[in-house]
Amino acid sequence: MTSYTNEAPDDLQVFLNKLKLYLDKAYSKPDKEKLKRLLASAKIDIQKTGRWGSIHAHAEAKVVFYVLYKNLELITPGVKENLKNITYQMLQAENCGLEVTDLEFFPVASPENVSVEEELMETIEAAKQVTNGINLPAELIAKGKEMSEAYLYIYFVENALRLFIEKIQGQKPLDFPRDVTRTIEKNKNNEAQSRFLPLRGNSDLFYCDFVQLQQIIVHNWEYFKEYFPQQDQHWLRVKIEDMYRVRNLIAHCGYISKEELQMIKSNFKMILRQLKFQDNDKDGF
């Protein structure tokens, strides 16, 4: 006579690995690949309900799977029922004496060790059945990586300028141009109507556009001129407007040339050098 523990396995991760191995080596139903993808990077928890099940000497239990958010779409009634049966069979093999009466699924973020490229390729592969035969060329991945590199430089410069202006604002009475003030008010109102969006920041500077940052600097040039070569407004205006043009191109899914990418990197270095964003800057930012 089998003696059941009526408890979950001591090591749930080991149990989950056995479950995955069974799916890979022994399971043969049509939803095999769906189940394997569903449990990729998943975690498991087994919770007893405190009641006895309908099977003799078995305690009721609910099994909770924590799965990648993008994989939630794989869950259908059939997939859920099959996974429930498999999990029960594996618990039987462990002599746990638990009757699985329910499955629950909770989303989790992608693991940190999964690169954006890997996750993107996996998502594209999974979506082939719903893209109506549209072939997504591999070069889109390569171009996307190049554009993300360019945007990273722009993102850093844009927010470094905000911090720089904010620092000067703490020392001098800055005045914002009227169109900049209107943009700030507009963006604040839009954000107030979309509560699900995160706040941009606790400074008005985070509610104006990238190109407007140089407008603020030029409008208050008497406080900023000492930070720029030959106290030349044109030097800053040209560099920011060039980067802003590329920023908009990327934001609208455009593709920039290698020369434009090199320009972004060059402007990045020159602007930060002028703002004294170095480790030895005694004031710091």
What is the percent of the chain with per-residue pLDDT over 70, rounded to a whole number?
A: 82
Averaged pLDDT of the chain: 83
Residue, of 130 and 249, whose pLDDT is higher: 249
Residues facing 169 on adjacent strands: none
Residue 44: what pLDDT?
A: 93
Q: What is the pLDDT of residues 3-34, one digit of tens each?
A: 789 999 989 989 999 999 999 999 999 999 99
Instruction: Write out 25-64 in H/E/C secondary structure.
Output: HCCCCCCHHHHHHHCCCCEEEEEEEEEECCCCCCEEEEEE
pTM value > 0.75 = no
Count of Cβ atoms closer than 10 Å to residue 257 Cβ: 9
Please tell me the total number of residues recorded for the chain in this structure.
285
Residue found by looking up tokens 């924590």 in the block:
66
Residue 192: what pLDDT?
A: 72
Q: Provide the sign of the torsion angle of the four alpha carbons 119, 120, 123, 124, taken in this order.
A: negative
Give the span between the Cα atoms of 280 and 187, in whole angstroms.
36
Residue 134: what pLDDT?
A: 58
Average pLDDT over residues 230-249: 87
> Which residue intervals of the chain bear CATH 3.30.300?
12-130
Indicate whether 92 pLDDT > 80: yes
Q: What is the pLDDT of residues 230-239, one digit of tens each?
A: 777 888 889 9
CATH fold of 12-130 reads: GMP Synthetase; Chain A, domain 3 (3.30.300)
Residue 33: what pLDDT?
A: 92
Indicate whether 281 pLDDT > 50: no
Q: How confident is the model at residue 122 (pLDDT cuts 50, 70, 90)?
A: low
Residue 225: what pLDDT?
A: 87
